[in-house]
Structure 1
């Protein structure tokens, strides 16, 4: 089962994990990632973050990412909850929960979903700092993390 939500409201991790587990009580492992708003980024104090998305398109992109994870790790379940709107330091931004028969599969699928989400999902972040507001650019480290899931990108580029 795949569950995807984009919302302004916060979320409760325990409630979300329990609901996902209830759909498949035979699951052997649950992996969870929670992303939060940092209070410091690139040496600047973050006062707030505004997250924007493209309604409809964003949910489809998240569903596609979850479907890829379920294809790579058969029998797994995926939950993605991503917040939008104005968030403050330490607020929860994103929750990814994956279930699988074994812990390695759960950890791997959770990391896979986050790596794809960070680089492929249509979200835009604007940070407000003491120096003003700025859009947050993609990080090379996120692209490098994504590359580990495709061991032969050069071969695909030549197809």
Structure 2
């Protein structure tokens, strides 16, 4: 049986996932205020279209898609390249996404990784963020973006190839 969310449940779920959503938006714009603006706009869109959400348990995936699309729209509208500030040390709180604590890469490696991500267009960055930072599998990404799983795989590997080429200088 389908269960729809009410506005209060929606607000609770948004608060529970606010850090995750912020990190997704920030990974696109690399600016705190812009990321917060994107989250605000995406939240409004989600609330306006809440009745279109088929199942309450799909809220996080649904909102992730809205945030990704809103981030891409923001980049297109502003069409400006952003770079990491020299002393930023990378994206905020990226090391504890999904509750994992990977080994600490050195600062130079992080800088190279983020520079490589910056070279990707917003669509390519979507696959990398969802797959490797948010830990969605290819099937989940395909469902979220409403494209074939094989397309997600090929685009993900192509984006990884571009990043690898940049990082290895080849």
> TM-score normalised to the size of structure 2?
0.28
Answer 1 or 2: higher relative contact order, Cα 8 Å, separation at least 6. 1
Relative to total residues, which structure has the larger strand share, 1 or 2?
1
